[in-house]
Structure 1
């Protein structure tokens, strides 16, 4: 009998969407609990380390979106055939997280002076640095991030891309044909296509 899953997150894609993509890919039912922003002050203190998303598996709770995604990837056969391949996947995931962190540091900066000062090098140097290497990585791996085959790194990247685009204020895949092809390939997977068609709307 399959475990009973529940994910708790804001009503957005954000850090929750990679988890939702993995559930869709695995064809596993789960409770996609989305609370409204005004509920967060009451919920935050009840969350492990005061953050979401969290995953409940048979009433056991765990936090950290990447750890949750990695766990599900193992359940659904997307975590690599051996330790070396798993490490390659983890390296890509951690690098995507590095980019997300740099975007978030500027996007959520409440000081308009430092936000403006830091945005130019972010968009002219940091983002092109990461995106060009992602492009080369996919080109050299036959259209995927690792070893020329589908792994959770591919699902994770496509799932979190809307969030990255919003923080960047642009389409990060512009002039990146290999990444564009990867995105199209992931979104064409029947289970992912079905999820994207029915999911609640949010910008990111």
Structure 2
């Protein structure tokens, strides 16, 4: 596979929702990087799916070279915009935070996308009584230790990843996960106060999740 150029063009393709693509869009916004934001409707997915690597989205085209895996794409853009670690240890701590948030997303998704309604209700019961309190307490503690950030006591791509996913997480669970979590709310405030991100939030398409 050929390498992209030093100043590549980017095209991000995903459903017309925030969800898994939004952390990438937020990172692009933070860095002021131009990209083509290609969105498709859910009814178009059966025709588009066979053209996707591994049959999944989002995908990023970098000078026409297509790659998948949303977290890997976000990590790649984070390096471009200066929000990755300064060394291997810092990068590890950021990755730990990102992977913890992603673990939470997966646990919520397992319940949300359960097709059997009776099983789904039971999964949500466990999610709300056990899983969410555990993860949110841990993440709140991490944010407190890091003064309103999720790693290194400063802004990293872990913060943008969390904030980018938050609307989707809240949509799936049915309430704001930062409620009564002042340090997680501070993470959100620290990210959304950034002018380039504030501008993106103001202009991005209105979607339910």
TM-score (norm 1): 0.98
- Structure 2 match to 1:112: 117
Q: Deviations over 1:58-97 (max 9, x none)?
A: 0000000000000000111111110001011111111111
- Structure 1 match to 2:49: 44
Mapped to 1, the partners of 2:167 and 2:180 lie a distance apart of 17
Mapped to 2, the partners of 1:182 and 1:119 lie a distance apart of 26
Q: CA deviation at 1:2?
A: 2.5
Mapped to 2, the partners of 1:158 and 1:118 lie a distance apart of 25
Matched, 1:79 2:84: yes
> Could you tell me which of 83, 91, 94 is aligned with 1:89?
94
Equivalences for 1:14-93 in 2 at 5 Å? 14-93=19-98
- Aligned pair count reads 204
Equivalences for 1:159-174 in 2 at 5 Å? 159-174=164-179
Contact 2:13–2:37 under 8 Å retained in 1: yes
Mapped to 2, the partners of 1:40 and 1:113 lie a distance apart of 28
- Structure 1 match to 2:104: 99
Unaligned runs of 5+ in 2: 1-5
> Could you tell me which of 133, 139, 142 is aligned with 1:134?
139
Q: Per the alignment, in what secondary structure is the counterpart of residue 122 of structure 2?
A: helix
Mapped to 2, the partners of 1:95 and 1:143 lie a distance apart of 16
- Structure 1 match to 2:185: 180
- Structure 1 match to 2:3: none
Q: Per the alignment, in what secondary structure is the counterpart of residue 62 of structure 1?
A: strand
Q: Per the alignment, in what secondary structure is the counterpart of residue 67 of structure 2?
A: strand
Q: Per the alignment, in what secondary structure is the counterpart of residue 141 of structure 2?
A: helix
- Structure 1 match to 2:14: 9
Mapped to 2, the partners of 1:21 and 1:147 lie a distance apart of 20
